[in-house]
Structure 1
Amino acid sequence: MAGEPQADCLFCKIVAREVPATVVRETETTLAFRDINPQAPTHVLVIPKAHYPDAASLAAGAPELAADVLREAGAVAVEEKTAGSGYRVVFNTGSGAGQTVFHAHAHVLAGRGLEWPPG
């Protein structure tokens, strides 16, 4: 069922503190932690604590939670001191787009030149 923790989901295990992560922010509904394979000097993942497999299902099933994720992405950028110089928020949706963990998550990327269009 959407929103319920999934036993085989890495990010659900991080939320439950069964798998360690370097947490940088936490709210009642979201968790933000450093990516273990950073693609930029600042690379933080912001996830809803509730399980939704991708950004589209999150937006359709819990739009207020999707807003929480985006709000926290901005807060991460402020805390990381990258809001003024610019940052990118990326949601990969589907394996063809590079999604490898099927729990909705936003990548907050900053600290280097981020060219457009991305890869």
Structure 2
Amino acid sequence: MSLAEQDCIFCKIVDKELPSDIVYEDDEILAFKDVNPVAPIHILIIPKKHIPTLTDMGQEDAELIGRIHLAAGKIAESLGVYDRGFRLVNNCKDEGGQVVYHLHFHFLAGKKFKGVG
């Protein structure tokens, strides 16, 4: 395990070293409630594998993005927002607003969001 992984709060959640309110888990993905929500429903969807940013993904990780999106649909269904809709956001690096350097997607729901652009 690299030093970055040892210090990564999300890796500690994956390893169950830190508590979290898990809403979805499979062999490659973990999803849990954000401790500082910005929406009525705010879930973080992460790969269990430590990948710092979206741009750090390798070709071997290509299918992971699809699995994360499929997990988002399952989460939406389990939380009762599948038909109403949700937002899935990735912040990449400093200028993109990334705070935790472990690839993650914000699943936001429970209110109507303004369109982007």
Above 0.5 in TM-score? Answer: yes
Instruction: Give yes or no for contact 1:59–1:66 (8 Å, CA) kept in 2.
Output: no
Aligned counterpart, 1:55: 54
Percent of counterpart pairs with the same letter? 39
Quickly say closer, same or farther: Cα 1:114–1:60, change in 2 above 3 A.
Answer: farther
Q: Do the aligned partners of residues 42 and 113 (structure 1) sit closer, same or farther apart at CA in structure 2, a change above 3 Å counting?
A: same
Q: Does the C-alpha gap of structure 1 residues 102 and 61 become closer, same or farther in structure 2, counting only changes over 3 Å?
A: farther
Measured in 2, the distance between the counterparts of 1:22 and 1:70 equals 20
* Offset, 1:73: 1.2
Q: CA RMSD in A?
A: 1.9
Unaligned runs of 5+ in 1: none
CA distance in 2, matches of 1:81, 1:58: 31
The residue aligned with 2:44 is: 45
Q: What one-letter code is carried by the residue in structure 1 that aligns with 2:106? A: H
- Matched with 2:92 is 93
Matching of residues 1-80 of structure 1 within 5 Å: 6-58=5-57, 60-80=59-79
Deviation at 1:79, TM superposition (A): 0.8
1:99-110 counterparts in 2 under 5 A? 99-110=98-109
How much has 1:60 moved relative to structure 2?
A: 4.4
SS at match of 2:106: strand
Cα deviation for residue 61 of structure 1 reads 4.5
Aligned partners of 2:78, 2:9: CA distance in 1, in Å?
Answer: 25
Structure 2 gap ranges (5+): none
- SS of aligned partner of 1:83: coil
- The CA distance in 2 between the partners of 1:30 and 1:60, in whole Å, is 18
